[in-house]
């Protein structure tokens, strides 16, 4: 139940990103659901590989290169989906930052709604 709630809230967060920033376009809630799923899959499967491959650059940039990786994954998700579009890399960077902030709020909310039993 927690995973389903988190997915639905992240789809809403993606709609919020599209509403707040004109460089990100989401046509419907269904598109947002699919985009949130694809973003989750990309972050689970591709992000660790990219972080490992770019570790020297990430260390030299004091971790700031992770923002570039997040933007690239956000942009890649938009390029493979219908109904979810990003106008360019700058829009992907800003959109991924807003989405990450919303994701942190969603994580806090789901932890409060569904506390982990001790």
**What are the pLDDT digits (tens) for 47-94?**
999 999 999 999 999 989 999 999 999 999 999 999 999 999 999 999
**How many CB atoms are located within 10 Å of the residue 112 CB?**
8
List, in order, residues 6 or more apart from 105 with CB less than 8 Å away: 13
Beta strands 84-86 and 24-26, pairing class = antiparallel
CB contact at 8 A, 72 and 42: no
**Which band of pLDDT confidence, cut at 50, 70 and 90, is reported for residue 26?**
very high
**How many CB atoms are located within 10 Å of the residue 83 CB?**
15
């Amino acid at each position: 139940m927690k995973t389903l709630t988190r997915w639905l809230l992240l789809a809403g967060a993606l709609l919020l990103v599209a509403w707040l920033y004109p460089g990100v376009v989401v046509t419907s809630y269904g598109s947002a659901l699919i985009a949130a799923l694809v973003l989750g899959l990309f972050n689970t499967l591709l992000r660790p590989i990219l972080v490992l491959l770019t570790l020297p650059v990430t260390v030299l940039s004091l971790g700031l290169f992770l923002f570039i990786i997040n933007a690239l994954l956000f942009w890649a998700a938009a390029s493979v989906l219908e109904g979810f579009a990003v106008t360019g890399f700058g829009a992907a960077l800003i959109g991924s930052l807003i989405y990450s902030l919303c994701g942190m709020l969603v994580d806090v909310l789901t932890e409060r709604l569904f506390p982990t039993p001790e």
